[in-house]
Chains A and B, each alone.
Chain A
Amino acid sequence: MTLHRSMLTLTALLSLTACAAPLVDKVVGRVAGISAGSAAVKPAEGAPQIWFTLTGRGIKFPMSLISQRDGVNVYGSKDGSQVFLRNGMLIGTRGFGRDLMSAATPTPASLRAGIAQPRSYYDLDGADTSLRHQFSCKIERDPADPNHVSELCVADIGTIRNEFWFDSAGSISKSRQWMSQGVGYAAVERKDG
C-alpha cells in the first residue's frame, strides 16, 4: 500500500503542476444516464460456486458460475473479478492486477496419466504488452495419495509447481495453480457443501 501512496504523491506532483487541465471532457462521462453502479456481471440465482484463494495474498472468497460455453466455466466474484476454468484447469483471470489473459494447459486426463505437456501462459506487462511465458513441465505423483498429482514447470521467469487432487470420477476436486508473476498462486476448491 505504501507503493500505491507513493505513486499518488507523484501523481499529485504532476497534477499540481498541470496548469490548464483539459476542461469539458470530464463532464461528458455523465452523458446518457450512466450510473456508476456495480459493473460486475451478476450470476443467476443459485448458480454453482467455488472457493477461490489467492494464496500469496491470503484472501479466500466464493465465486459463482456466470457463464458456461465452449467447455469453459467462468466464475465471477462479487466485486467483478473472474476466473476461467476448463475442466478445472485455470486458463484465464480478470480483475486481479497482473491477470492471466489466456493459457495453453494439459488436460486433467493427461495429468492423471502422468503425461507431461508444455504450458503457455499469456499475460500483460504494465504497458499492456502481451507476453508469452513458455514452461516445460514434468509430473510428480504422490506415492501416498494416488489422487494427488504435482506438475513442476520451469521457464525463464522461474519454476512453478501446480498441484491437483482428483475425485474418483477423474475430475479435479481441488487444485493450486499458478496465475501470474504479480499474483502468484491461486487455490480452487469445489463448494459442493
Chain B
Amino acid sequence: MISGLQLFGRLMLIAIRGQMQYRSAFFLMVLGTLLTSMVQAIGIWALFDRFGSLGVWSVAHVAFLYGTINIVFASVDITARGFDTFGSSLIRTGQFDRVLVRPASAVILVAAREVALHKLGQLLQGILVLTYALITLNIDWTPGRIALYVFAVSSMYAFFYAIQIVRATMSFWTIETLEILNTISHGGMETAQYPMSIYKESFTNFFTYVVPLACVAYFPMVGVLDIPDPLGSTLLTQSLAPLAGFVFFAVCLAFWFYGVKRYQSTGS
C-alpha cells in the first residue's frame, strides 16, 4: 500500500496532465484569472493614490497582506477543487458511493479528484504584488520572522482549505453546494486583504473568535511587518495565533468524518 501523501501526489499529477491536454485553453484561462484578480489590486491602488495612507498602514504594507493572502487563497483553490465541486458532481449524482468502496481514504480521493490549474493566474498576481511589497518594504528577515511567516502561511492554507471541506460536508445534507459559504471563503479573503484594525469591533471579533481569520492572517503578519498593532496585540499573541488555523482545520475535518458517517446515498 502506498501512503496517503504519495497517492495524493500521484492523483494530482494525473489531473494536471489531463488539464494540459487543452494547452491553449489553459493559457487563456490563466491569463483570464490573472486579469480578473487584478481588479481588486487596482481598487486598492486607486484608494491609496487618493488618500495616501491608511493610518499606520502604507500601500506596501497592504500589498504585503494582499499578496500573501492571494497566493495562499489561489493555492487552496487549485488543490481543493475536488471539494469545491463535491456537492454537484459527487453527491447529487450518487457517485460518492463509488468513492467510498475504494481501498483508500475518501478525503484524499476527493481532494485529488480535480485540480483548478487556471487559478495559477491569481497565484501569479499574488506573487507580483508580494514582490512589489518586498522590494518596497525592505523587511529585516531574521530567522524568527521567517519562521513566523512560514508558520502563518501554512496556517492560512489550512484555514481556507478547512472552509472548502465544510462547504463540501454541508452538501451531505443539502445535496447541492451551498454558495452562501462563499462569503466566508471569498469574503474572508477580501476581508483579510486589508488590516483587520480598520473594521468594526464586532466584525473583527467574529473573524477572530468564531472564524479565526485574523489569527491566521492579520496577527502574524503584523508580527512579521513589525508595526505597532492598532488592536494592541503583543508579539507572543502574534506568534501563537496561527495555531488557531490548525485547530480550525482539525474541527472541520472531524465534521467531515461525521458527515461521511451520516451519509445516505442519493442514488436509486
Do A and B truly interact? no
A interface residue numbers (CB < 8 A to B): none
Point out residues on B near A: beta carbons under 8 Å: none
